[in-house]
Amino acid sequence: MVSQKALQHAEKCRFCWMCRHLCPVQHQTGKELNTPRAKGLLLSMVSKKSAEFDRDMAQAMYECMLCDACVNDCCTGYQPPLFIREARTEAVVNELAPEAVMQLIENVETSGNIYGTVKPSFAREGTDVLVYIGEVAACKVSGMAKALLNILEKTGIRAKVLDNEPASGAMLADLMGYVEEVTQQASACADAINAAKLPTVVVLDSYDAEIMKQRYAEWGCEIKAEVVTATAYVAKLLEEGKLAPKSKKRGSGVCHDDDRLARSFYEFAPVRAMAKAAGFDLAEMFNRERLAKSCGSAVALGYMPEITIKVAGGRWQDMIRTDAKAMLVANPQAYLCLSQCVPAEKELVDLFTALDESL
């Protein structure tokens, strides 16, 4: 049902149970099925023909944020997202995926984004860099996108944003795995970016940056420009003294390292540099950097809002254990999930907006 490589990962588990303590979905649902090792065990049973891949099993494969926390910590090199993505492909192929997932896929097919709406355009002409906004920021967290563009403008950087910006494939890949339909989106996206003929593409959403930087080349649709996360790009502007934030104290905050920055890019310093420049005194959560806990993803919020909001709540619990007042976020998906359940007397801060306001 899944590839030999995926099955090898599914069967690597040595039952130490460490991953039980770090899976954010398992934490919040308490379901044994939601431990990474249980998902591997299910697929192993299917491959040995002692169980059928049915709707319940498909549901279990979707109760995962693909956050990679289990990959980061498992001593066997076990990679649940690898087989979970393949199992999702099987679920879609065999029409066993949850209805809400199929609805999101249909939205992507009809409108190009998971929301099934016309994506607001941020199109502008510019000759220095191309900014890739992404569908979550464009449709749901537009303030973050506007703030990034403002910051660049204040630095004198002429940023171009594509009209009808194509989807990167990141959303579809989370919904149905790495399949041809995803590579078709990737290919169209790479073509559009390459046609802009700019040396750098600044990507606001790290989920988009991850697929562009780590998948496109192997699919034969390489982006010719240098792909840079928006956080790294802005932090470099700060480092080079091209941005001059006014010194205004904004109180204490903790930076949330989003799943992709934390475990695909190991990128931690830029977000903190932005937070300091925006006037925050930094505190830290125990679960930070590579050990950061997921707060959910936009796709998961779309097909399983209840669980995702619980997972976001779990992240707020991490923050509450510190003395900080604000959760500082520089990723639109993380912002969207955390914004669903902001605790009383705590503040959710979009770091791009905070920095823009301080300039």
Partner 1 sequence: MIKRILVCVKLVPTATSVEMDGQFRLKRDGTSLQLNIADVSALEAALRLKAATPDAEVVVLSMGPAKTSQTLQELYALGADRVILLSDPALAGADSFATAKALVAAIRCLGDFDCLLCGRRAIDAETGQIPGQLAAALGIPAVTNVQQLTARDNGFLCQRRLENGTAQLEIAAPCLLSVCEYTYPLRLPGIMGKRRARDKQVEVLTAVAVGLSAEECGLRGSKTKVIRVDTRAPGLRKCRYCETDVLAEKIREVQL
Interface residues toward partner 1, by CB under 8 A: 4, 8, 89, 92-93, 176, 178-183, 218-220
Q: How far is the CB of 210 from partner 1 (least distance, A)?
A: 17
**Cβ count within 10 A of residue 54:** 12
Identity of the residue, 13 or 277, whose beta carbon is nearer to ligand SF4 in the bound complex: 13
Distances (CA, A) of 141 to 138, 145, 174, 257, 260: 6, 7, 20, 18, 18
Q: Where are the alpha helices (DSSP H) in the chain?
A: 4-10, 24-29, 36-47, 55-62, 69-73, 80-93, 99-111, 135-139, 142-154, 170-176, 180-195, 206-214, 230-239, 259-263, 269-277, 298-303, 305-320, 332-338, 351-358
Q: How far is the CB of 176 from partner 1 (least distance, A)?
A: 6
Q: How far is the CB of 202 from partner 1 (least distance, A)?
A: 27
* Binding partner selected for residue 238 from partner 1, ligand SF4, none, CB under the kind-specific 5 to 8 Å limit: none
Identity of the residue, 220 or 251, whose beta carbon is nearer to partner 1 in the bound complex: 220
Distances (CA, A) of 241 to 115, 155, 171, 252: 39, 10, 35, 24
* Binding partner selected for residue 64 from ligand SF4, partner 1, none, CB under the kind-specific 5 to 8 Å limit: ligand SF4
Identity of the residue, 259 or 356, whose beta carbon is nearer to ligand SF4 in the bound complex: 259
Segment near ligand SF4 (CB under 6 A); pick from 67-75, 147-155, 269-277, 325-333: 67-75
7 lies in the site for ligand SF4, by CB under 6 A: no
**Residues in contact with ligand SF4, shown as a per-residue x/- string from 166 to 205 under the rule CB under 6 A:** ----------------------------------------
DSSP 8-class letter at 321: T
19 lies in the site for ligand SF4, by CB under 6 A: yes
SS3 88: helix
Q: How far is the CB of 175 from partner 1 (least distance, A)?
A: 11
Total interface residues for ligand SF4 by CB under 6 A: 25
- What type of residue is 352? F
Q: What share of the chain is helix, strand, coil (3-state, %, to 5)?
A: 55, 10, 40
Q: Which of 6, 74, 92, 355 binds ligand SF4 (CB under 6 A)?
A: 74
25 lies in the site for ligand SF4, by CB under 6 A: yes
Q: How far is the CB of 60 from ligand SF4 (least distance, A)?
A: 10
17 lies in the site for ligand SF4, by CB under 6 A: yes
Q: Which of 10, 38, 70, 354 binds ligand SF4 (CB under 6 A)?
A: 70
Pick from 226, 194, 206, 319: nearest CA to 267: 206
Phi and psi (nearest 5°) for 253? -150, 160
Identity of the residue, 43 or 74, whose beta carbon is nearer to ligand SF4 in the bound complex: 74
Distance, in Å, from the CA atom of 72 to the CA atom of 67, rounded to the nearest integer, reads 10
**Cβ count within 10 A of residue 153:** 15
Segment near ligand SF4 (CB under 6 A); pick from 12-20, 220-228, 324-332, 338-346: 12-20
Q: How far is the CB of 52 from partner 1 (least distance, A)?
A: 15
81 lies in the site for ligand SF4, by CB under 6 A: yes
Burial of residue 311 (CB within 10 Å: 0-12, 13-18, 19+) is: buried
Distances (CA, A) of 143 to 284, 289, 329, 352: 25, 25, 13, 9
Identity of the residue, 68 or 86, whose beta carbon is nearer to partner 1 in the bound complex: 86
Identity of the residue, 24 or 314, whose beta carbon is nearer to ligand SF4 in the bound complex: 24
- What type of residue is 182? V
67 lies in the site for ligand SF4, by CB under 6 A: yes
Distance, in Å, from the CA atom of 152 to the CA atom of 173, rounded to the nearest integer, reads 30
Pick from 60, 120, 72: nearest CA to 262: 72
Would you tell me which residues interact with ligand SF4 (CB under 6 A)?
13-19, 23-25, 36-37, 64-70, 74, 76, 78, 80-81, 294
